[in-house]
Amino acid sequence: MVRILITGSNGQVGSEIIEYLRKTTDCTILATDITQPREQVEGVQFEYMDVKERVLVESVFRKFKPEHVYHLAAILSATGEKDPVITHNVNTTGTMNILSACVTHGVQKAFIPSTIGVYGPEIQKENAPLENYSTPTTMYGITKATSEMLFKYYHARFDLDVRSVRYPGLISYKVEPTAGTTDFSVDMIKHAALGKKYICYLKSDTRLPMMYMPDAMINTIKMMYQEKVEKRIYNFMAYSISPGEIESIIKERIPDFHVEYVPDYRQAIADSWPASINIEDSVNDWGFDCTYDAKKTVDDMLDHYASSI
């Protein structure tokens, strides 16, 4: 039975990956976060752990003795712009503390997600390449690009099997995301389901890379449990879509849904990112594959809200 430690376990990805790991792996999970979990999951222990605190991180690793680590604690793009110092401390220092503890405590495998936010405005807008990424202009992007360098260093210097994927905007309902720039997608669908008008903080034609959470989780676990991977980082994306296109899909089911576009500071963040990213290496190296296109995603989200509100 593999011992898995998760940081940021109450977040959008953390709360979902626990379920997928339990379904696919014979494991014991220690979930950690700085807030108490909303629900007790059978077979999952919980421990308070702030990744910024190195001594605490070391003591949790010493006690639990994890074999695999999923380091998901991070401050995302929109929140990141509000406090660059905290964003640096959580995302960069936190990642250093986790990488260091992984080496000290003999962790076999670590997952540290990255993001489309590592790309900057000078990268090609369509099909942005996996390699040769540009200079990010958000604090989130800067800290995640630094994390990519740090885990490559830990791999080269300490032979730590650390793997990563650059997530696009992730659409999901279990823990609704609010801290990112791509989160309008979830909020728009929820407003439609509730019969409410939605005020969107991006322009209607701002296309960004996106995918639905079940595809993100299945592909993450598939990549993590390959015996070997060619690359430390892979790009993830199912479709490139704008708020206006999501609105149109919703209107096929809810014709009187209304969206007003009032761009705010998040528009500049979105404008600095590519509209689509190249996923060829993910497909060729280990068979990245998505089941949900944009329409299936919106339908599944609306079905979920229809049955739960």
Q: Just list the catalytic residues.
A: 140
Of 101 and 213, the one with the shorter C-beta distance to ligand SER is: 213
Of 66 and 168, CB closest to ligand SER: 168
Contact call for residues 20 and 221 (beta carbons, < 8 A): yes
In the complex with ligand SER, which residue's Cβ is closer, 104 or 178?
178
CB burial class (10 A; 0-12, 13-18, 19+) of residue 273? Answer: buried
Contact residues for ligand SER (CB under 6 A)? 76-77, 115-117, 140, 167, 169, 180-182
User: Which residue is listed with tokens 């014709």?
Assistant: 255
Minimum distance from residue 305 beta carbon to ligand SER (Å): 20
- Reduce the DSSP state of residue 213 to 3 states and report it: helix
Q: Is 285 exposed, middle or buried (0-12, 13-18, 19+ CB in 10 A)?
A: middle
Output the residue with the shortest Cβ distance to ligand SER. Answer: 180
